[in-house]
Structure 1
Amino acid sequence: MSHLEPLVREFGLPGLFIDVMLEALGLPLPGETLIIVASGLAALGQMNIMAVALTAFAAAVVGDNIGYLIGRKLGRPLIVRHGSRFGITHDRLAAAEDLIQKRGPIVVAFARFFVLLRQLNGIAAGCAGMHWLRFLAANMVGAAMWVGLWSSLAYHFGKDTSILPRIWHQLSAIAMIAVPAIILVLAIAALLFWWRRRSR
């Protein structure tokens, strides 16, 4: 992670915006890591934490919405044909589409906490034909949670730069367990609510 600090210092907020936006379009870039590094630098007084968070949030939303537009207008065959060089394969896109079709806004909101879904979120939602306003609302909620989590933690612990890599690795592992559990609880709650309304 430390090797990215010179890049963040050199390219600043524009570099952060481009990286996070392109990651949301499916490119294998370290958007999440750059947010942590930039927030750690903000804790040291070298960047503004509000500017870092707002830049990352805007980049995430813009990138996913461009991906949504690409998925909606171009469709899966063209995306898979040209996206395979960036890791957007038929199977990966189909898996993301299937999740979005089954769970919709819940998957979109929490997609950023998973590497595959974070990169295919917008494209898959567009290919699946999800309504744009539903996608936009869920995407903004997800981007706010994702950026808020990593930027606030890195800013809080950022004065000790040696601790950031340990936090990142540990919380990434926790997120892989906690986020699916949250999704499962929300899905069960939604099913119970629907069942009670139907029984009435």
Structure 2
Amino acid sequence: MHVQEWLDTVPAAAVYAVVALVIGLESLGIPLPGEIVLVSAALLSSQHSGINPIVLGACATAGAVVGDSIGYAIGRKGGRPLLAWLGRKFPKHFSEGHVATAEKSFEKWGMWAVFFGRFVALLRIFAGPLAGVLHMPYWKFLTANVLGGICWAGGTTAVVYYVGVVAEGWLKRFSYLGLVIAVLIGLTSMLVIRRKAKKAQAAQQEPEPVPAGD
């Protein structure tokens, strides 16, 4: 079952909780499809499902900020042995190459890596734990974390919601246009068939020519 189809079967409160939980766990360092869940829920909110996009964005932001903060605390306490352990558990996401790439980004960009990392799948998983491992000052991390969470979660929710609303309107117009075209084609076909039927009937009713010798 698709994520959006599953979300459509649960109450709005459960959707808010699932979005916050999945994004929070992803931000904590567990590789989960947070962005897919958020986009699916935001698209669902544009379809009059009872999901409030403002509440959804707030829950997604809260999940991102809290998850990143917990990841930061775990990374600061666990240090590099934590990254080595994550590399053994999740080699596709926490390999030495991925860790090295993320670490270079942090060393080059500092708190901006936390902010923009929210928009990049790899850095989104690394941001909290790696910032803790590298002992980034918490106030810098929290500032970038909150701003990044608001822009990513709130921005994604708003964009997907409004795109969904506009798309729904276009689809409705297309549906009406398609219905009109289908009716016109049906009427035209019916008229052509009736005309051919009348011609065939008229041809059958014409008297056969009388032989000249009679």
Structure 2 residue 157 is the aligned partner of structure 1 residue 128: no
Separation (CA, whole Å) in 2 of partners of 1:157 and 1:14: 23
Separation (CA, whole Å) in 2 of partners of 1:123 and 1:98: 15
Counterpart residue number, 1:91: 97
One-letter amino acid matched to 1:116: L
Offset at 1:3? 1.1
Separation (CA, whole Å) in 2 of partners of 1:152 and 1:82: 33
Please say if residues 23 and 30 of structure 1, whose CA atoms lie closer than 8 Å, have aligned partners that are also in contact. Answer: yes
Counterpart residue number, 1:5: 4
Alignment of 1:75-90 (within 5 A): 75-86=79-90, 87-90=93-96
Which string of whole-angstrom CA distances, capped at 9 and with x for unpartnered residues, describes residues 72-116 of structure 1?
001111332245322323332232122212211111111011111
Which string of whole-angstrom CA distances, capped at 9 and with x for unpartnered residues, describes residues 49-82 of structure 1?
1110000000000111111011100111133224
Structure 2 residue 163 is the aligned partner of structure 1 residue 157: yes
Counterpart residue number, 2:63: 59
How well do the aligned residues superpose, as a CA RMSD in angstroms?
A: 1.9
Q: Which segment drifts farther, 122-131 or 75-84?
A: 75-84
Separation (CA, whole Å) in 2 of partners of 1:132 and 1:113: 20
Please say if residues 65 and 136 of structure 1, whose CA atoms lie closer than 8 Å, have aligned partners that are also in contact. Answer: yes
Counterpart residue number, 1:39: 42
Name the SS for the 2:31 alignment partner. coil
Aligned residues: 161
Larger radius of gyration: 2
Name the SS for the 1:113 alignment partner. coil
Separation (CA, whole Å) in 2 of partners of 1:89 and 1:76: 13
Q: Which segment drifts farther, 76-85 or 119-128?
A: 76-85
Structure 2 residue 26 is the aligned partner of structure 1 residue 20: no
Separation (CA, whole Å) in 2 of partners of 1:81 and 1:119: 15
One-letter amino acid matched to 2:83: I
Separation (CA, whole Å) in 1 of partners of 2:113 and 2:164: 30
Q: After TM superposition, where is structure 1 displaced by more than 3 Å over at least 4 residues in a row?
A: none
Structure 1 unaligned segments of length 5 or more: list them. 164-200
Separation (CA, whole Å) in 2 of partners of 1:84 and 1:6: 34
TM superposition score normalised by structure 2: 0.69
Q: Which has a greater percent of helix?
A: 1
Please say if residues 75 and 127 of structure 1, whose CA atoms lie closer than 8 Å, have aligned partners that are also in contact. Answer: yes
Please say if residues 58 and 154 of structure 2, whose CA atoms lie closer than 8 Å, have aligned partners that are also in contact. Answer: no
